[in-house]
Amino acid sequence: MSINWFKFASPAAFYPIAGRMIPWFAGIAIVLVLGSLLWGFFGTAAQLGGSNPQKEYYRIIYIHVAGAWMSMWLYLVLAGWSAIGLVFNTRLSFMMAKAVAPTGAIFTVIALWTGAFWGRPSWGTYWDWDPRLTSELILFFLYIGYIALHSAIDDTRRADRAAALLAMVGLVMLPVIYWSINCPDPTQCAALHQRSDPGSIHASILWPMLGVTLGFWSYAFAATFVRLRGIILLREADSAWVRELLQGDSGR
Amino acid sequence: MKEFLHQGGYAFFVWGAYGVTFGLLAAEVVALMVNQRTILARVGRWVRGPTQGSAKTASRGNE
Amino acid sequence: MKARQKRILFVVAAVIGVSLAAGMAISALRGNISYFFSPSQVMANEHPSDAVFRVGGLVVKDSLQRQPDGLTLTFDVTDNAATVPVSYTGILPDLFSEGQGVVAKGRMGPDGVFMAEEVLAKHDESYMPPEVADSLQQSHVDGVVEMVTQ
């Protein structure tokens, strides 16, 4: 039982695999996000009660938490593929890293934007320099820095390596974002955000929230693979397999 | 339905958050589709057309 | 725009972005410790004396009062060890309530009253529908009563 994983690590092998997976990921994303939001809007209380009596605006939680988790997770993916690329010098890893960056940046904007629109009615402000908000904004700049640096260098190999290095240096932000709320001593992580855990979120809110997160995750796969296929075609335009693929018809 | 759209008076915040989120995702999908089509057409032209040098060198800056 | 100009522009943008990120990371790490001061820290004079800072804690029950001018509000903020009186003119956020968390930004007045320019509500971690929250509350009360009567 030995599968040669490196077989899939070649762009030529992965191009059709990614193509076959895109409709599945896109379909799962639509079903999960729509289903979870229907549940979240119609299957839960309109307002919260007890010690956190938020009104209808609490419904922003579904996309806010999902977007924020995706922004961090995709950065980890970006840095991970960058590291693999730097260490093993595999072409496909760098292409994966490049393909995931714009989607990660978009989810970071979503996290910040929905946070602002949730913060105004609940906390009383769109923005404050709370450690969590500040570190999430820096994460956005890291994504932008990665994309800008990559497109600033003409030589693809050098661009890959330089941007990968930036992505790995920026990795220090992830623990900062996490710790800005989840530090053991609560007086040291004074923030507007309140640390929470699944136990203090009612199941009727928690499940739609996890559903939207999975849906966003599936969407990120689909979007990344579409972008990846474009990058593969451009970078491998000289190779025989692209020639063969496109000489026929549309290239699907 | 009207009640749903009203969101207890917080329609601006709820729909402001949801609108921009799905607007951004929709914009990404459209951009990806346009980009994909452009790349396929361009690379297809290089492949099918008379080979004038390397297709790769012509692709510079267009990834 | 020529390709070279474009490249230079991108490099400049990248440099600005990264240095901005680095600067903000450092200030965030430092600000992490002093995003807000607890009433105990304020009472121990650990806060900046002539600069704007934040006080965070719980609003003391029954301390919210509207002053005779009809605009100014006063309330006390506590961390259960020390208490800081706060004065604020403006609209309080929706989630502001006595016994709940609050973050006030402003300066310390000479009379020992914190003059807030901005008051933000800090909500707790429970996300429960009202009826579930009520039943949790009730079972908590029942538990306490049981403990007392046993």
What are the boundaries of each domain within chain C?
A: 1-34, 36-122
Domain count, chain B: 1
Q: Which two tokens stand for residue B60?
A: 């510079």
Q: What is the pLDDT of residue A7?
A: 65
Interface of B with A in 8-37 (CB under 8 A): 8-10, 13-14, 16-18, 20-21, 24-25, 28-29, 32-33, 35-36
Quick check: A134 and C24 CB within 8 A?
Answer: yes
**Residues facing residue C58 across a β-bridge:** C78, C101
Quick check: A124 and C21 CB within 8 A?
Answer: no
Interface of C with A in 97-136 (CB under 8 A): 100-101, 103, 118-134, 136
Residue A74 has pLDDT above 80, yes or no: yes
Residues of A in contact with B47 (CB under 8 A): 237, 242-243, 246-247
Answer CATH for C36-122 from 1.10.3720.10, 2.40.50.140, 3.40.50.1460, 3.40.50.720: 2.40.50.140
In a domain, B58, yes or no: no
Nearby residues of A89 by Cβ (< 8 Å), 6 or more positions away: none
Least confident of A163-172, A174-183, B45-54, C96-105: B45-54
- What would the mean pLDDT of C87-94 be, rounded to a whole number? 91
> Residue A130: pLDDT band by 50, 70, 90 thresholds?
confident
pLDDT digits (tens, 9 = 90+) for C50-77: 788 999 999 999 999 988 888 899 999 9
- Regions in chain B scoring below 50 on pLDDT: 58-63
Quick check: A125 and C118 CB within 8 A?
Answer: yes
Neighbours of B42 (CB within 10 A): 17
Whether C74 contacts C87, CB under 8 Å: yes
* Type of residue found at A124: G
Instruction: Using alpha carbons, select from C85, C69, C125, C84 the residue that is nearest to residue A65.
Output: C125
- Distance of alpha carbon A66 from alpha carbon B58, whole angstroms: 40
How far out from the chain centre does Cα A230 lie? 19
Quick check: B44 and A251 CB within 8 A?
Answer: yes
Instruction: Using alpha carbons, select from A241, A239, A216, A228 the residue that is nearest to residue A64.
Output: A216
Residue A99 has pLDDT above 80, yes or no: yes
Q: Is C63 helix (H, G, I), strand (E, B) or coil?
A: coil
B54 Cβ under 8 Å from any chain A Cβ: yes
Quick check: A223 and B20 CB within 8 A?
Answer: no
Give the strand pairing for C65-66 and C72-78. Answer: antiparallel
If 0-12 CB within 10 Å is exposed, 13-18 middle and 19+ buried, where does residue C80 land? exposed
A219 Cβ under 8 Å from any chain B Cβ: yes
**Residues facing residue C115 across a β-bridge:** C87, C107
- Distance of alpha carbon A247 from alpha carbon A237, whole angstroms: 12
Which residue of A lies nearest to B21 if distances are taken between CA atoms? A110
- Distance of alpha carbon C19 from alpha carbon C28, whole angstroms: 14
How far out from the chain centre does Cα C31 lie? 14
In a domain, B3, yes or no: no
Q: What is the pLDDT of residue A1?
A: 46
- What would the mean pLDDT of A176-182 be, rounded to a whole number? 80
In a domain, B39, yes or no: yes
Interface of A with B in 119-138 (CB under 8 A): 120-121
In a domain, B40, yes or no: yes
In a domain, B31, yes or no: yes
Distance from CA of A87 to the nearest CA of B (A): 24
Range of the domain at B40: 12-44
* Reduced 3-state DSSP string for B12-59: HHHHHHHHHHHHHHHHHHHHHHHHHHHHHHHHHHHHHCCCCCCHHHHC
Whether A145 contacts C18, CB under 8 Å: yes
Residue position matching structure tokens 């260098």: A153
Give, in order, the Cα–Cα distances in Å from A37 to each of A63, A210, B6, B16: 9, 11, 17, 16
B60 Cβ under 8 Å from any chain A Cβ: yes
Give, in order, the Cα–Cα distances in Å from B53 to each of A9, A157, B41, B56, C11: 28, 21, 18, 9, 30
Q: What is the pLDDT of residue C144?
A: 55
> Residue A123: pLDDT band by 50, 70, 90 thresholds?
very high
For chain A, the domains span 62-248
Q: Could you report how far apart the first and last alpha carbons of chain B are, in Å?
A: 45
How far out from the chain centre does Cα A90 lie? 22
- What would the mean pLDDT of A11-26 be, rounded to a whole number? 94
| Candidates B4, B24, B59; nearest CB to A234 | B59
Q: What is the pLDDT of residue A142?
A: 93
Q: What is the pLDDT of residue B59?
A: 46
Which residue of C lies nearest to A195 if distances are taken between CA atoms? C125
- What would the mean pLDDT of A156-169 be, rounded to a whole number? 91
